[in-house]
A and B are shown apart, each in its own frame.
Chain A
Amino acid sequence: MSTAAATHDDHHDHHHAPTGLKRWLFSTNHKDIGTLYLWFSFAMFLVGGFMAMVIRAELLEPGMQFVDPEFFNQMTTVHGLVMVFGAVMPATVGLANWMIPLMIGAPDMALPRMNNWSFWILPFAFGILIFAVLMSAFGAGNPSAPNFGWTFYAPLSTKYGPASTDLFILSVHMMGISSIMGAINVVVTVFNMRAPGMTLMKMPLFVWTWLITAFLLIAVIPVLAGVVTMMLTDRHFGTSFFDAAGGGDPVLFQHVFWFFGHPEVYIMILPSFGIVSAIIPAFARKPLFGYASMVYATASIALLSFVVWAHHMFTVGMPLAGTLFFMYMTMLISVPTGVKVFNWVATMWRGSMTFELPMKWAIAFVILFTCGGLSGLMLAITPVDFQYHDTYFVVAHFHYVLVTGAIFSIFAAAYYWLPKWSGVMPSKLLGELHFWNSLISANLLFFPMHFVGLAGMPRRYADYALQFADYNFWISIGGFWFGLSQVIFLVVAVRCAMKKGEPAPAKPWEGAEGLEWEVPSPAPFHTFDTPPVVK
């Protein structure tokens, strides 16, 4: 797509790389901050995964075995919060930090100090949340951690929320501050820092999808801040936003929450679309099919995401016209999403395909994300949703799009760009083990959830009726298997960080395109000190 002369920093008088702890704590370098984000998100992925193991251990057999139902509720709640806000979102922000300046030929992110602030808020915010869980597990009197589900519906979270709800509210505010600053940084970097000649329609699709993601973040994270603020005043200052006796309505909570919550799911998946759009052309050795249509499809998905929120609420008793509107709008989203899937497949069509690790993950993404998308289409149909609502069918749907969708694409990105980040190739053997174990176990874990959901097993319960026992046994086995498989990736990543492995050339993938492959591997501390010229 573009060629450029690689430029390196050769004046070492003042811009040498800082060392030791200070390098990481006080960083203003997009690569180091990106690395911090990626390690943090992986740590959160393991923490949230451990909570999922607790959930699956309890559900291995019917009846109560390991935890009491109160603690089970806290596990489902914090598992969701940690995975959404702590694992998926920071991982894609980490990728944005590392790759966007490299891809557009910028010396760094536009606002480097604010960039570091965006990151360092997160460990504190999650420290607060995880501290609440630890107190609940080991503290005196076991004060409850947040226990109302990751969607924290009123009045469960207002009138009936435990004391830790207030800490949860403030930690959500902190995550929000972090996300908004991170998103502003991305938008400004993309609009203001592109190398000469890098026009908007020449940008790699990962940059485009992140630009649109950042717009969504700036638009809806403040709405999340608004809804938790109303929760706080309802809990402590006598307001009646979510209390019908005072003229408010608990359903108001759901509207405001999902006005944030639905764009939020695209915040988690749009960067994945960008990753896959980078990897598939590289290993099919063909330019991306329909670049412009990909850009427009992404923008359409983002805009439509603002007018579909109430499809999460079909069963709360909306007027018929409302449910119909949200049903049709939701189904409309499958058009631009279909364009994307079509374009990925068309890119592979008659390509000289090879199946290196990133490509394996990307293809798995395309197939399994589509699977999750189709179950989403089923859920969009209002009368059908009456049956599916709050069953394991919903759990299956959003784990297909988030685990085999978003997280698989993040692994694809990691295997694709690890040579650039670390300077060594990730271990092929361990990578293959990681991929095949994850692929098979994730499907064993999530696919049967469709069946138990259709048969009526509700989500968020610590126990279930006997007829679901066989499926749940295998789901749990899949869960432990998937969880253990991720330890393989930990080994892969640590080996790369310790520079153990085959040294990587500047461009380790034959068909890869883009400015990031013009700089050496590992990418030097400062790149594009003077901007490259893009032809």
Chain B
Amino acid sequence: MATDKYYVPESSPWPLTASIGLCMTAVGGAHFIQQSTMADMEPSFSGKPLFFLGLAWLLVVVALWWRDTIKESVTGLHSNQLGGSYRQGMLWFIFSEVMFFAAFFGAMFYTRWLIIPWLGGEGSNAMTHELLWPEFQPMWPLTETPDGTTTTPMGAWGLPAINTAILLVSSITLTIAHHALLEGKRGTLILFQAMTVALGVIFLGLQALEYVHAYDMGLTLDAGIYGSLFFLLTGFHGAHVTIGTIFLLVTLIRVIKGHFSEDNCFAWEAGAWYWHFVDVVWLFLFVTVYWL
């Protein structure tokens, strides 16, 4: 199916229309957040409705865009060189995601190693401690903030440990599916990929349960820096698991429709790489956010 000529697509309406959708989502999102969190903001069309309109617009455009790409792939317009471009592009995208998480992990270590001790008077900060919050006790997890908000830390060995096991198993099932794809065993492929998707859904369900539990015991987004970091890190990870699950679900449907072969399976492998990346992030999360 591969060709020798590099495929440069004809002009396409999707980039421009996707930008319009992105703009609506951004403007609507900003207003939606303002109108739902600020007392002096009235709900208006430029808030929630525009946000969801933009999101729907974006989803439709992306679906149509990828439909074009899939059509090109299935009709054999893609050369091996183009496959290389896609693969390299995906790897660099994952690297950018690594750096996105690195910013949040960096914020966490800066908080744990520097901010909290300094607020407690360490180094040359004795006067900071004395003048601002002399009662403040430095500790991690920070259960009482300088202004006196208290919270309860999330333990590692309940749901989070189960979730770790789930994600590790899902990586194994996905690898079995990958081998099945390369060896042309469609039945095994479908079975193990479906298991991976199911494990992703279970993970997300348990994560939601854990959030409910956290709010019950007073661990909230506004309970000081520990809650902020906890929800930012696990929340963005959860968002990425959601994207990864949808990604794997789409490629599963394509597998069932008979797409992909051992030498034409970029989208499938991209989904798999993404899943493994999300997995590795979780391991770091589990060790640094829950455990230590």
Contact A248 B15 (CB under 8 A): no
Question: Chain A: how many interface residues by the 8 Å CB criterion?
Answer: 78
Which A173-192 residues sit within 8 Å CB-CB of chain B? 173-174, 177, 180, 183-185, 187-189, 191-192
Q: How far is the CA of A18 from the CA of B229 in the complex (A)?
A: 51
Most B CB contacts (10 A, CB to CB) among A108, A119, A124, A221 go to: A124
User: How close is B180's CB to chain A, nearest CB, in angstroms?
Assistant: 28
Interface 9-mer from A223-231, A325-333, A484-492:
A223-231
Choice from A113, A125, A180, A227 contacting B9 with Cβ under 8 Å: A113
User: How close is B232's CB to chain A, nearest CB, in angstroms?
Assistant: 7
Provide the main secondary structure of the chain A interface.
Answer: helix
The answer to whether the Cβ of B96 comes within 8 Å of any Cβ in the partner chain is yes
Tell whether A166 pairs with B142 under 8 Å between CB atoms, given A240-B228, A247-B224, A248-B115. Answer: no
The answer to whether the Cβ of B225 comes within 8 Å of any Cβ in the partner chain is yes
Choice from B13, B99, B132, B225 contacting A241 with Cβ under 8 Å: B225
Contact A221 B96 (CB under 8 A): yes
Interface 9-mer from A20-28, A55-63, A368-376:
A20-28
Tell whether A238 pairs with B222 under 8 Å between CB atoms, given A170-B26, A256-B103. Answer: yes
Contact B23 A127 (CB under 8 A): yes
Contact A247 B221 (CB under 8 A): no
Residues of A close to B30: CB separation below 8 A: 166-167, 169-170
Which B248-263 residues sit within 8 Å CB-CB of chain A? none
Contact A246 B228 (CB under 8 A): yes
The answer to whether the Cβ of B8 comes within 8 Å of any Cβ in the partner chain is yes
Tell whether A193 pairs with B85 under 8 Å between CB atoms, given A108-B8, A252-B110. Answer: yes
The answer to whether the Cβ of B88 comes within 8 Å of any Cβ in the partner chain is yes
The answer to whether the Cβ of A239 comes within 8 Å of any Cβ in the partner chain is yes
Residues of B close to A185: CB separation below 8 A: 89
Contact A247 B111 (CB under 8 A): yes
Q: Which residue of A lies closest to B30 (CB)?
A: A166
Q: How far is the CA of A219 from the CA of B92 in the complex (A)?
A: 9
The answer to whether the Cβ of B104 comes within 8 Å of any Cβ in the partner chain is yes
Contact A26 B104 (CB under 8 A): no
User: How close is A514's CB to chain B, nearest CB, in angstroms?
Assistant: 21
Residues of A close to B29: CB separation below 8 A: 170
Q: How far is the CA of A229 from the CA of B236 in the complex (A)?
A: 11
Contact A170 B110 (CB under 8 A): no
A-B contact pairs, 16 of them (CB 8 A): A26-B16, A108-B8, A116-B12, A120-B18, A124-B20, A127-B23, A183-B92, A219-B95, A226-B100, A236-B38, A245-B133, A245-B147, A247-B224, A248-B228, A259-B103, A259-B106
Q: List 9 additional A-B contacts (Cβ < 8 Å) besides A26-B16, A113-B65, A124-B26.
A: A26-B11, A112-B9, A116-B12, A121-B22, A170-B30, A220-B99, A226-B103, A239-B232, A240-B224
Q: Give A residues with C-beta under 8 Å from B.
A: 14, 18, 22-23, 25-29, 106-108, 110-114, 116-117, 119-121, 123-125, 127-128, 163, 166-167, 169-171, 173-174, 177, 180, 183-185, 187-189, 191-193, 218-223, 225-227, 229-230, 232-233, 236-241, 244-249, 252, 255-256, 259, 317, 319, 526
